[in-house]
Chains A and B, each alone.
Chain A
Amino acid sequence: MILIELRKLFGRPRTWLTIALLDLLPTIVAILLAITHVGPRPGQGPAFLSAVLTNGSLFAVAALAIVLPLFLPVAVAVIAGDAVAGEAQTGTLRYLLIRPVGRTRLLVAKLVSTFAFVAVAVVIVSATGYVVGRIFLGHGSQASLSAAVTSVSGSSLTPGQIVWRTIITIGYVAFSMIGVAAMALFLSTLTDSPLSASIGALAFLIGSSLLLTLDAARALLPYLPTRYWLSFIDLFREPILWRNVERGVALQAIYVAVLLGAAWANFATKDVKS
């Protein structure tokens, strides 16, 4: 069943169009930076953009930072929100269940295929970021392949350090997105409309981002799902500041566990009337 779900998801032109659109924004940013050489002032704009002007190999991470606040969650919420509600809307859900496919098995297959989408999307975005960074920015400066990159803390990072820190970043961003996927999947088992599920999940995230900026909501801060999303920047400090990254992973794990538990409890006993 998992293989079938993967085939259904990645056999669909829509999936690849979404990923292509995700790649488009960082590519445009890279081209603009290469032409103008005007980076955002320190402390403003997406992370790493000032750093990439001197070395394009950091653009893989910068690309993730560009799509992370809005584009990536939207894409993940659309795909995950469609998982169960989409089948309900087309009516194929009832036929899958009487084929029969066990409800838990179907949910697990949907979960795995959604996570696969998250992983593929994040890896492709950072790979594209790396390639366009090297093409447009890597040669634009005097930096050669072996040149050290300046970390966020000001000290230098070797290319080797950058590679493994980038890999951890990809994993961290993917895990953050799995929280979004779990939310959308849970809502997807509640409604027969994929649109409602996706928008519901996005409303949850936008609400969380909004509260982050509100001083009065300080007590809630450590529990907001988007609180630690951008903490992967800490991975590029010297030495690495693990605290927020660890908290981010723990918080996401709790959200994922609770939401998936709720999704399973709801779907396993639901009357399928679609």
Chain B
Amino acid sequence: MITTQGLTKRFGSVLAVDDVDLDVRRGDIYGFLGANGSGKTTTVRMLLGLVLATSGSVRLLDEPMPKAAGRVLPRVGALVEGPAAYGHLSGRANLMLYDAAGPSSPGRSRRTRAARVDEALETVGLGGVGRRPVKAYSLGMRQRLGLAAALLAEAELLVLDEPTNGLDPQGIREIRELILQLHAAGTTVFLSSHLLAEIEQMCTRVGVLDRGRLVLQDELDAIRKPTGRTVVRTPDAAAAVALLDGRVEMREGDRLVVRGSDAASLNALLVGRGLRVAELAPERRTLEEIVLEVTSPEPAR
């Protein structure tokens, strides 16, 4: 759905994006991670033809960008660096104008405009706000309105830059469920965020950007494969260490890290000797550990 080759953007002497080869496949929820200032937004803008690449190429839905923007973009819904709307108009009036501005396509005909706008507002939970102007909206409501604009097209690909920014926990959860629902219905989602937890909960593939370079791109499950160790929590920690002898690699109070990935037999062994087990699971690396490992420790420029 999205492929870039050697994508590079230079602003003056600053190399904002450096030789990035993205590969987002149909059906992915692709998590695009990176610290603030790592080049995420510039990359997203290049994908959508807002910023022109210094070198390298972008293909979106198998067509070259920005050359085929007129054909490709009607099939893409996007939220780029926060929502935007005309403050003196209502949310509904904004969406009507926005929908009317572009070319009409089969999914976006003029006849169905009012119905589609109402449906999009309903989907993001803005059905009941009425004629209030957008300048009276809260940050969370604006974010929802931005999402509604992205949903208008019934797009094949959603490019969402920080979609849960400014939302409360309830709202974040609603948006997450909405994204998963759209994904289940066949939409490919490209999700850019600096919130690791958000990516970890939703995404199937991740790419990590560090100072403009793509330092990691893989399936989330492959990255988070078990480490071959098992984590045990037991009130009888001292007895467990004695029993397992050299297999305990680390002990922090009642938490032990034990070599060996066979959690079931370890459990049987401990319980068989009358030791109480509070928690036991194969150790997986968290996304946070992986990201910290592949990115450089110094702050971004």
Question: Does A272 sit within 8 A of B, measured CB to CB?
Answer: yes
- B52 contact set on A, CB distance < 8 A: 269, 271
Alpha-carbon distance A4/B98, docked complex (angstroms): 9
Known: A102-B70, A272-B51. A96 touches B78 (CB 8 A): no
B268 to chain A, nearest CB (A): 58
Is residue B45 within 8 Å, beta carbon to beta carbon, of the partner chain?
yes
Interface set, chain A 1-41, CB cutoff 8 A to B: 1, 4, 7-8, 12-13
A100 at the interface (CB under 8 A from B): yes
CB of A4 within 8 A of CB of B73, answer no
CB pair B85 A98 closer than 8 Å: no
Would you call A94 and B88 a contact (CB within 8 A)?
Answer: no
* A residues in contact with B84, CB < 8 Å: 90-92, 94-95
Q: How many residues of B contact A (CB 8 A)?
A: 28
Q: Are B86 and A98 in contact (CB under 8 A)?
A: no
Q: Is the CB of A95 within 8 A of B87?
A: no
A97 at the interface (CB under 8 A from B): yes
The CA-CA distance from A271 to B16 in the complex, in Å, is 13
* Closest B residue by C-beta to A88: B84
Cα–Cα distance between A73 and B86 once the two chains are bound (Å): 26
| B46 to chain A: closest residue by CB | A271
Q: A91 to B101, alpha carbons, bound, how many Å?
A: 15
A92 CB contact (under 8 Å) in B69, B74, B86, B103? B86
1/0 per residue, CB under 8 A from A, across B68-107: the answer is 0110011010101111111110000000011011110000
Inter-chain contact A4/B97, CB cutoff 8 Å: yes
Contacts of A12 in B (CB 8 A): 88
Contact B101 A98 (CB under 8 A): no
A228-244 near B? 1/0 per residue, CB < 8 Å? 00000000000000000
Contact B69 A271 (CB under 8 A): no
A70: interface (CB < 8 Å)? no
Interface residue from A101, A102, A271 paired with B50 (Cβ < 8 Å)? A271
Of all chain A residues, the one with the shortest Cβ separation from B88 is A12
The closest CB in chain B to the CB of A273 belongs to B51
Residues of A within 8 A of B85 (CB): 90, 92
> Which of A90, A100, A269 has a CB less than 8 Å from the CB of B102?
A100
In contact, A98 and B97 (Cβ under 8 angstroms): no
Residues of B within 8 A of A (CB): 45, 48-52, 69-70, 73-74, 76, 78, 80-88, 97-98, 100-103, 149
21 A-B pairs, CB-CB below 8 angstroms? A1-B101, A4-B101, A90-B84, A91-B81, A91-B82, A91-B83, A95-B84, A98-B48, A98-B49, A98-B76, A99-B74, A100-B70, A100-B102, A101-B102, A102-B69, A269-B52, A271-B45, A271-B52, A272-B51, A273-B50, A273-B51
